[in-house]
Each structure stands twice: as C-alpha cells, then as structure tokens.
Structure 1
Amino acid sequence: MGTAERRAAVERIKDAEAARDELRDTLAAVGVVLPSLGLDDASLARDVPRPLVDLGRCNPRVARQLAAILKGSAP
C-alpha cells in the first residue's frame, strides 16, 4: 500500500471513529448506552480498510428504549 492509499485508509478510519462518537454522544443525550459500540475489527483488518461502525450488543431494555426513540422520530 502506497502513501496515498495509507492516507485514504487513515481518513476512512477517522471518519468512522467520528461517526461512532457522534452516534454515542447522540444516544447518550437521550439516555441510551450501547456498551459494545465501536469499530468492527474485521473491517479494519483488510488490506484496504473499509471501516464499519459496529453497534454491538445490548440488553433487551436498551433495545426497546432505542426502538421507542426511533419510532418517535419516524416521519
């Protein structure tokens, strides 16, 4: 991987981290915590990383809370 490709990969990872942080902060503002929220390790391990935000796991109470919030924001 050349320098330009490395820079592009770093930018994609930084963008995914920012998206993860924005989602975590927005969810926290409405009282929802997804304890496993992070970046998907497998998507970072590729020769050319294509980072994915992994929402992870949560208990049923948090899943229902998140569903209720999303239902309330639907058009």
Structure 2
Amino acid sequence: MAEAPAQDVDPFTAMESLRAALDQVGIVLPSLAVDAASPTLRMVELGGVRADVAMRPARALQRGSTMA
C-alpha cells in the first residue's frame, strides 16, 4: 500500500486512525493529540507514557513484522 504524501494526510484523521488501531490491541496513549501549534507541519503528538506502556506497542509491532 502506497503512503500518501504528508501534505495530503489530515492530522486529525491520522490521530483517530492511530487511536483506533491502538485500541484494538488494548493500548491507550493518553496524550495522543494533534499539534495545533504547528498546523502547517501536520504533526500528531504521541505524548509521554510509562516505560511499560511504551513496550506494548513495541511488542505489537514486532509481532506484526514477523507475520509479514
């Protein structure tokens, strides 16, 4: 699947897509938000999390990469 150029990706859509995908595997990033201070950069802030929470998406990504 080809990635859309950054200027074509709505940051709010990206944030909600990421939130939904993380939710499917039981991961919540409480600080997940769109960076409203820099709208032209279209940045999504992942925020800070405890180390044990950071390990959960890392493990999910590692599992997913072995399935490809």
For the criterion TM > 0.5, the same-fold answer is yes
Alpha-carbon distance in 2 for matches of 1:28, 1:16 = 18
TM-score, with structure 2 as normaliser: 0.75
- Indicate the structure (1 or 2) with the bigger Cα radius of gyration: 1
TM-score, with structure 1 as normaliser: 0.69
Q: Which residues of structure 1 form unaligned runs of 5+?
A: 1-11
Tell me which residue corresponds to 1:50. 41
Q: Which residues of structure 2 form unaligned runs of 5+?
A: 1-6
- Count of aligned pairs: 59
Give the 4+ runs in structure 1 shifted more than 4 A. none
Alignment of 1:1-75 (within 5 A): 15-44=10-39, 49-74=40-65, 75=68
Name the % identity. 37
Whichever structure has more helix as a proportion of its residues is 1
